[in-house]
Amino acid sequence: MAKPIRKRGTLKENLPTLKRLLKLIFTSHPVILLMAFVGIIVNAAAGVWGSLFLQRLFDDYITPLVKSSNPNFIHLIHALLIMCGIYLLGVLAATLYTQLMAVLAQKIQLSLRKEMFAHMQTLAISYFDRNNFGDLMSRYTNDIDALLQMIMQSFPQFVSALFNIVFVTAGMLYLSPFLTIVSFVIFAISIVFLNFLSKRSSKYFNQQQETIGALDAQIEEILNGQKVVKVFSHEKQVEDQFNKLNDDWAEASGKANGYATMLFPFMGNLGTILYVLIAIIGGFLTLKGYSALTLGTIAAFLQLSRSFSRPIAQISQQLNNIILALAGGKRIFELLDAQPEVDNGTVDLVRVTHQNGQLIETTDSRHDEWAWKDGSKFVPLQGKVDFQHVDFGYFKDKTILHDVNLKVKPGQKVALVGPTGAGKTTITSMLNRFYEIDQGKITYDGINIQRIKKEALRRSLGIVLQQTNLFTGTVMENIRYGRLDATDDEVITAAKLANADSFIQELPYGYQTMITGDGSDLSQGQRQMLSIARAALADPPVMILDEATSSIDTQTERKVQGAMDNLMKGRTSFVIAHRLSTIFNSDLIVVVEDGKIIEQGSHEELIAQRGKYFQLYTGALTLE
């Protein structure tokens, strides 16, 4: 059930993602970032300034006081107040840049989520067919959160560490070039080891981010299909699949964190070793009378040595979060880089009225006629559909529809009949251009549908999907989704047409009753009727009902069928059903098998042919 885990690159291969993330950070809100950088620089400078001032404190104030027979502490107190002021400035600067980076992270997160969602609306249905919903949801949650942590915490600490290293190195060179060289040797050793660990942690952090996406997708699939799991008693198989994905995540996470947790203690001990070595070497040189090393110089250098190891430890700690954010950023950019749905159509759908024997475009969306607007020409929408030698395959090497030819007159009710997987739903998907045909042509009122704007084409089609999708909100809001400017009376009228009004009135708050996105408080039949009411409210010229009554009990089906028959009068309608009893009164019945139309005609004509439809009708064959 779960989507296979895709391989990810190493840290080096993630460099394009890093560059893109840095560009996002630097260009989104430059003023905030500039102020944060000022805070970082002031904080780093204050730390080094305080350490260098420590030399003067020892050599110019404390040592003379110790040797003096009549000590005066006023100057020492002044010096201590200056040092407190320096460190206070550093604290204020750190508070400033931390708050600014938090604000910047929130703004980037907000804009990035908006951009992702807006771009997602431009993607073709095929993109969602290829990607698990759980995996896509993980990009909005886990991956975005990883980026938030990087921008708010890892990035400023990383930059702060770099500035600290530069300023501390300058201070150390100023105090003692020899001791600085010793520090650099130890630092070089740490870099080698850090690079060793980061290469390995990068690999497993990428795997961790991928496996948790697959795990989310698996959980969502099972939650949505729990009834199916129970019906077929597949609890053990589902549990095994979940455990396999969970174990994969645990293995990747364990290895990633195993390498990551080695970094902090190593860097912590490195600081201690550096501190001890400098103290020993500096003390030894002082005892030997090396005049360049005073007590104040050694004290200040030891303070700087701690400041030198601290930013290296910060880098090692935040590097793992950055690697994790790179993995998440790569997945986010994959979504943003997905090719939008191409629409080269120029023909639009408009409302028109008759004036002086001519069609004139109008803004009235309720009472005037529909027409196709092709440049300055108007073509009345009649609902005439013509499939001409249509071939299609979801993949280039596998054709699903073969030489489909179908002529539908305006106002006809067309029933598509055939076993599961025959291609019935695929035929209607060609009409609304969820997918583009490979060969042939489809015309709508004589216009090639590839010339019609997809938004206009789909607005002309009322679709009741096989899978009922509701949204969290009131019953009224769910039905009004069919036409957002509909009045309450129009919503109620549409509900009555779908025979949904009676059960809605029995709900605790009627049309104002809140329902959840999965419609768990409603029966399958009730959810189906709300979906039909939504399509009825849209008042489309053409209706497509994809197995609209396949999940409704017989009694409810009778109520819905009568209402839908009235709704479909005067409209071109495509009906896909598993129950032949719902399509006997169709004007045209089309039998589909293995992607081909093998029979078409009225009920009486197909019975007389004694072919595949006759076998289905008499029970010799079934639709499953």
DSSP state of 510: G
Average pLDDT of span 200-223: 79
Model confidence at 551: pLDDT above 60: no
Other Cβ atoms within 10 Å of 155 Cβ, number: 24
Cα 545 from Cα 466, distance rounded (Å):
8
Average pLDDT of span 273-277: 72
pLDDT of residue 300: 83
The number of CA neighbours under 13 Å toward the Cβ of 584 is 4
pLDDT of residue 393: 92
Name the pLDDT band for 364 (thresholds 50, 70, 90). Answer: low
Name the pLDDT band for 410 (thresholds 50, 70, 90). Answer: very high
Q: Where are the alpha helices (DSSP H) in 57-140?
A: 63-67, 74-120, 125-130, 133-138
Q: Which of 40-49, 205-214, 371-380, 499-508 has the lowest mean pLDDT?
A: 205-214
DSSP string, 409-462: -TT-EEEEE-STTSSHHHHHHHHTTSS--SEEEEEETTEEGGGB-HHHHHHTEE
Q: Which of 26-40, 151-165, 354-368, 475-489 has the lowest mean pLDDT?
A: 354-368
The string of pLDDT tens digits covering residues 464-496 is: 876 778 888 999 999 998 888 889 999 999 898
Domains of the chain: 15-337 (1.20.1560.10), 348-380 (no CATH), 385-618 (3.40.50.300)
Model confidence at 20: pLDDT above 80: yes
pLDDT of residue 4: 39
Q: Where are the alpha helices (DSSP H) in 225-346?
A: 226-231, 235-287, 295-337
Average pLDDT of span 29-35: 93
SS3 category, 305: helix
The alpha carbon dihedral of 458, 460, 463, 469 has a sign of positive
SS3 category, 593: strand
Pairing of strands 401-408, 385-392: antiparallel
Query: Whole-number mean pLDDT of the chain?
Result: 84
Sequence letter at residue 275: Y
More confident residue, 575 or 569: 575
pLDDT of residue 189: 74
pLDDT of residue 478: 92
More confident residue, 231 or 88: 88
Average pLDDT of span 65-83: 79
Which letter, b or e, does each residue of 468-479 get, where b requires 16 or more Cβ atoms within 10 Å of its Cβ?
Answer: bebeeebbbbbb
pLDDT of residue 291: 57
The answer to whether 549 and 579 are in contact (CB under 8 A) is yes
3-state helix, strand, coil in the chain (%, to 5): 60, 15, 25
Model confidence at 563: pLDDT above 80: no
pLDDT of residue 6: 42
To the nearest whole percent, how much of the chain has pLDDT over 90?
30
Pairing of strands 572-576, 542-546: parallel
Question: Which residues are bridge partners to 407 per DSSP?
Answer: 386
Q: Which of 4-13, 121-130, 374-383, 485-494 has the lowest mean pLDDT?
A: 4-13
DSSP state of 139: I
Pairing of strands 369-374, 377-380: antiparallel
Cα 345 from Cα 436, distance rounded (Å):
13
Average pLDDT of span 192-220: 77
Q: Which of 336-350, 364-378, 435-449, 559-573 has the lowest mean pLDDT?
A: 559-573
- Biggest CA–CA distance in the chain, Å, is 128
pLDDT of residue 557: 67
Average pLDDT of span 515-538: 82
More confident residue, 389 or 233: 389
The answer to whether 271 and 25 are in contact (CB under 8 A) is no
Cα 531 from Cα 560, distance rounded (Å):
11
What burial class does residue 117 get, using C-beta atoms within 10 Å of its C-beta: 0-12 exposed, 13-18 middle, 19+ buried? exposed
pLDDT of residue 479: 92
pLDDT of residue 9: 47
More confident residue, 115 or 273: 115
Name the pLDDT band for 215 (thresholds 50, 70, 90). Answer: confident
More confident residue, 321 or 347: 347
Model confidence at 7: pLDDT above 70: no
Name the pLDDT band for 10 (thresholds 50, 70, 90). Answer: low
The number of CA neighbours under 13 Å toward the Cβ of 384 is 12
Cα 344 from Cα 453, distance rounded (Å):
7
Instruction: Tell me the pTM.
Output: 0.69
pLDDT of residue 327: 86
pLDDT of residue 592: 94
Q: Which of 146-160, 328-342, 385-399, 462-476 has the lowest mean pLDDT?
A: 462-476
More confident residue, 280 or 95: 95
The number of CA neighbours under 13 Å toward the Cβ of 194 is 20
The answer to whether 158 and 314 are in contact (CB under 8 A) is yes
Average pLDDT of span 381-395: 94
The answer to whether 117 and 91 are in contact (CB under 8 A) is no
To the nearest whole percent, how much of the chain has pLDDT over 70?
90
More confident residue, 14 or 39: 39
Q: Using alpha carbons, list the distances in angstroms from residue 157 to 211, 241, 282.
A: 28, 40, 30
Average pLDDT of span 18-44: 92
pLDDT of residue 271: 65
The answer to whether 146 and 327 are in contact (CB under 8 A) is yes
pLDDT of residue 366: 64
Model confidence at 59: pLDDT above 70: yes
Cα 484 from Cα 311, distance rounded (Å):
56
Model confidence at 31: pLDDT above 80: yes
The answer to whether 51 and 307 are in contact (CB under 8 A) is yes
More confident residue, 572 or 205: 572
Count of residues for the chain? 624
pLDDT of residue 467: 74
